[in-house]
């Protein structure tokens, strides 16, 4: 699938997103806030920062855990999905023509608008990175959304909280609109999101660059600049984090965990795990089992 990354001015993106939101308010919210691994063929991954996805054209699906079981939610026009940090989610956006995503990181807020014309495979990513965190009120809204399961009217409350969170984010975007965006950082943030979503598949620097319309050499330079490590090492680190969840929560053997974590084989997986974690997967699993048993005995 051909995709094009385009980092733009905050004012341009603010105007575009405002046009979408003027048509109608967010009417329904799906919240992913339950930890655990989901065994699925859909593209999925582990969230590192809370983010909000709002669908503005087409339909999509979000697979997340609910009461310990995988549940699929259909997301339609002006529906939103909020993802708490540390949550395993999978999405199917094949029928989605346009959506925007707001990622709330500690020191910046990333706005991405993804669009695809009807009948075309090519997609465009328009992005702006505001050099501010969401602030105290925005963080409180994120915490309330992550804890919404205890609310007696979760759906209505979640819709209200998400609309407030969008307003908070738009105030921040408007504040940053006059600033010159770091185009390289915004591009890398888009690449990073793509890698997080697709690290379980057989991707590498070359085909990731092809998918995003970026030269592999440029991709490698961005990774070295912002992550201070080679591209392959960064990608393996994402896969190792997924593997650690499986080691803690499943009875799969090392070969199965390697394949489900995006590695081509168990030997390469073990070498990479030892390089990053300083121990083998088996030793990590034993230590985690002891830690969990100790906590249960308290």
CATH number of the domain that residue 240 is part of: 1.10.10.60
> In this structure, what token pair is assigned to residue 286?
């034993």
More confident residue, 214 or 18: 214
> In this structure, what token pair is assigned to residue 297?
């005995």
Most distant CA atoms of the chain, gap in Å: 59
- How far is 97 from 59, CA to CA, in rounded Å? 8
Domain interval for residue 268: 229-297
Angle between helices 231-249 and 205-212 in degrees, nearest 10: 100
Task: Return the percentage of the chain with pLDDT > 90, whole number.
Answer: 17
Beta bridge partners of 29: 80
Same domain, 154 and 13: yes
**224 falls in which pLDDT band (50, 70, 90)?**
very high
**171 falls in which pLDDT band (50, 70, 90)?**
confident
- How far is 91 from 44, CA to CA, in rounded Å? 6
pLDDT tens string 26-84:
888 888 888 766 666 666 667 778 899 988 888 888 888 777 788 888 888 889 989 88
Same domain, 238 and 142: no
Instruction: From 198, 216, 240, give the residue that closes a domain.
Output: 198
Q: What are phi and psi of 4, to 5 degrees?
A: -130, 125
Residues 6 or more apart in contact with residue 245 via CB below 8 angstroms:
37, 46, 88
Q: Between β-strands 28-32 and 79-83, what pairing exists: parallel, antiparallel or unpaired?
A: parallel
pLDDT tens string 277-286:
999 999 999 8
pLDDT tens string 97-109:
788 888 888 888 8
pLDDT at res. 2? 45
Q: Residue 49 class from Cβ within 10 Å (0-12 exposed, 13-18 middle, 19+ buried)? A: middle
Same domain, 76 and 159: yes
Torsion of CA 198, 9, 21, 138, to 10 degrees: 70
Beta bridge partners of 57: 98
Instruction: From 198, 217, 245, give the residue that closes a domain.
Output: 198
The answer to whether 11 and 181 have CB atoms below 8 angstroms apart is: no
How many structural domains is the chain composed of?
Answer: 2
- How far is 202 from 257, CA to CA, in rounded Å? 15
Same domain, 262 and 167: no
pLDDT tens string 78-99:
899 898 887 777 787 777 778 8
**298 falls in which pLDDT band (50, 70, 90)?**
low
pTM value > 0.85: no
């Amino acid at each position: 699938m051909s995709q094009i990354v385009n980092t733009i001015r905050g004012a341009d993106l603010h105007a575009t997103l405002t046009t979408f939101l003027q048509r109608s308010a967010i009417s329904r919210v799906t919240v992913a806030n339950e930890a655990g691994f989901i065994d699925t063929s859909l593209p999925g991954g582990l969230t590192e920062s809370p983010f909000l996805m709002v669908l503005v054209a087409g339909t999509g699906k979000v697979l997340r855990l609910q009461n310990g079981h995988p549940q699929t939610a259909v997301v339609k026009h002006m529906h939103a999905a909020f993802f708490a940090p540390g949550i395993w989610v999978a999405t199917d956006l094949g029928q989605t023509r346009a959506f925007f995503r707001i990622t709330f990181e500690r020191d910046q807020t990333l706005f991405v608008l993804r669009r695809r014309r009807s009948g075309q495979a090519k997609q465009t990513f328009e992005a702006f990175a505001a050099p501010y965190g969401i602030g105290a009120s925005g963080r409180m809204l994120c915490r309330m959304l992550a804890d919404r399961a205890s609310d007696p009217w979760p759906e209505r409350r979640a819709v209200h909280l998400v609309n407030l969170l969008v307003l908070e984010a738009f105030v921040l975007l408007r504040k940053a609109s006059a600033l010159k965006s770091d185009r390289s950082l915004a591009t890398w943030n888009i690449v990073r999101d793509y890698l997080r979503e697709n690290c379980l598949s057989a991707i590498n620097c070359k085909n990731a660059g092809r998918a995003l319309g970026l030269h592999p050499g440029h991709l490698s330079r961005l990774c070295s600049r912002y992550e201070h490590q080679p591209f392959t090492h960064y990608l393996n680190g994402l896969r190792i984090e997924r593997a650690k969840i499986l080691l803690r929560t499943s009875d799969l053997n090392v070969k199965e965990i390697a394949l489900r974590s995006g590695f081509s084989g168990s030997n390469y997986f073990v070498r990479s795990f030892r390089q990053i974690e300083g121990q083998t997967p088996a030793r990590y699993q034993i230590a985690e089992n002891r830690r969990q048993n100790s906590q249960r005995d308290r």
